[in-house]
Amino acid sequence: MVTQTDNLNVQATDESTTPRALVCDFRPGLEGVPAVQSSISYVDGKAGILEYRGIPIEELATRSTFLETSFLLIWGYLPTEAELAEFQHDIQFHRRLKFRIRDMMKCFPESGHPMDALQASAAALGLFYSRRALLDPSYIRAAVIRLLAKIPTMTAAFQMIRKGNDPIQPRDDLDYAANFLYMLSEREPDPLAARVFDTCLTLHAEHTINASTFSALVTASTMTDPYAVVASAVGTLAGPLHGGANEEVIEMLEAIGSVEAVEGFVDRAIAEKSRIMGFGHRVYKVKDPRATILQQLAEQLFDSLGHDRHYDIALELERVVADRLGHKGIYPNVDFYSGLVYRRLGIPTDLFTPVFAIARVSGWLAHWREQLAANRIFRPTQLYGGEHGVHYVPIDERGPVQLAP
């Protein structure tokens, strides 16, 4: 009888590798294991540094725009005025959706999560543009334009459709950030709101080999189409340990309810060994530099559009967690303050992660393009812990199997 708790009988699955070397190479979650060589972005987790193509995120957040930063990430240099104008024009021209994709979204359940709607719609783009001319630069550029242009429209379209309304058509006279906020409400956003939202997109655009980017790379390495690559990454980003944390942070702050309740909440979480959403990071062991900038954006919005008492709870939570868990390198990450910004912008909570996806499409596409230039299909190995020499037992001779608890 096979039980589930047999000792791990480590065997080399690659005959040329000795078991000891294999066991030493094993890193759960590939922690600290370089999976690619890349020049797109750089993170120093101890110093709290993030650079896109060598430019500090603080400079891009204050001096660039999301589309200019996307161009930098994807093509590797800051565009000339003419190149940026052409990039912006092409994206504006491709914002609309095929009616079949809009009609498909009308069949989605209103109760469905917007990330699932986005993943399905991104994959559906492949039905219309499935040619896999991955060696053709014009195909690559067209896919970059389409995905950057249509992901916001899809996100806003599902928001309207699930409320029983027709989607709002994009407006060519509005810039990237303003147009998205417009498609959510059919009202032109306040200029400060549009600028803050654009900066949020820049902050979320890229972050080296995070889980969703790795997912994109694995999918891309099979030479499938870029729409399948993005759909794969969207599904990965949706998880609460990754991009889904921003939605969970707001729910957590609402559940805590007051500044006075913060210490009790943190001490209970620690006692129960549960994760405090928006805190901790595989790489950062100090406060995520993006969290610092997002806090500044939140304060700008509160000054202009009115305060949010949940920000006071967030500040107290940051203080108490630093006191209790700072020694473990547990500090706010990008998801901790972003939700408070989006909430003040009037974005529904369950759209926070799709907003993260809208921004991260540019990082995924940058890595997709870099992967194609020197592709090798991802196929890691394993440490085999199962049995050998087991024989088939006819069903009438089988007894009950005791599963390990």
Site string for ligand SDX, 165-204 (x = CB under 6 A): ----------------------------------------
Decide: 365 and 149 in contact? Cβ < 8 Å: no
Decide: 153 and 96 in contact? Cβ < 8 Å: yes
Site string for ligand SDX, 44-63 (x = CB under 6 A): --------------------
Question: Which range touches ligand SDX (CB under 6 A), out of 98-106, 113-121, 242-250, 371-379?
Answer: 242-250
| Minimum distance, C-beta of residue 382 to ligand SDX, in the bound complex (Å) | 20
| Minimum distance, C-beta of residue 246 to ligand SDX, in the bound complex (Å) | 8
The residues, any chain, with a CB within 8 Å of residue 228's CB and separated by 6 or more, are 123, 126, 219
Helix, strand, coil shares of the chain as percentages rounded to 5?
60, 5, 40
Is residue 241 within the footprint of ligand SDX (CB under 6 A)? yes
Query: Is 166 marked active-site?
Result: no
Q: Backbone phi, then psi, for 383, in 5-degree steps? A: -100, 110
Tell me which residues in 270-329 interact with ligand SDX (CB under 6 A): 275-282, 325, 328
Is residue 245 within the footprint of ligand SDX (CB under 6 A)? yes
Is residue 156 within the footprint of ligand SDX (CB under 6 A)? no
Is residue 69 within the footprint of ligand SDX (CB under 6 A)? no
Among residues 198, 225, 288, 335, the one annotated as catalytic is 335
Residue nearest to ligand SDX (CB): 280
Long-range contacts of 68-76 (CB under 8 A, 24+ apart): 69/202, 69/205, 69/362, 70/148, 70/205, 70/362, 70/365, 73/40, 73/41, 73/205, 73/206, 73/362, 73/363, 73/365, 73/366, 74/144, 74/362, 74/365, 74/366, 74/369, 76/39, 76/40
Is residue 205 within the footprint of ligand SDX (CB under 6 A)? no
Is residue 98 within the footprint of ligand SDX (CB under 6 A)? no
Tell me which residues in 324-343 interact with ligand SDX (CB under 6 A): 325, 328, 330, 333-335
3-state secondary structure of 140: helix
Site residues, ligand SDX (CB under 6 A): 207, 210, 241-243, 245, 275-282, 325, 328, 330, 333-335
Which residues are known to be catalytic?
A: 281, 335
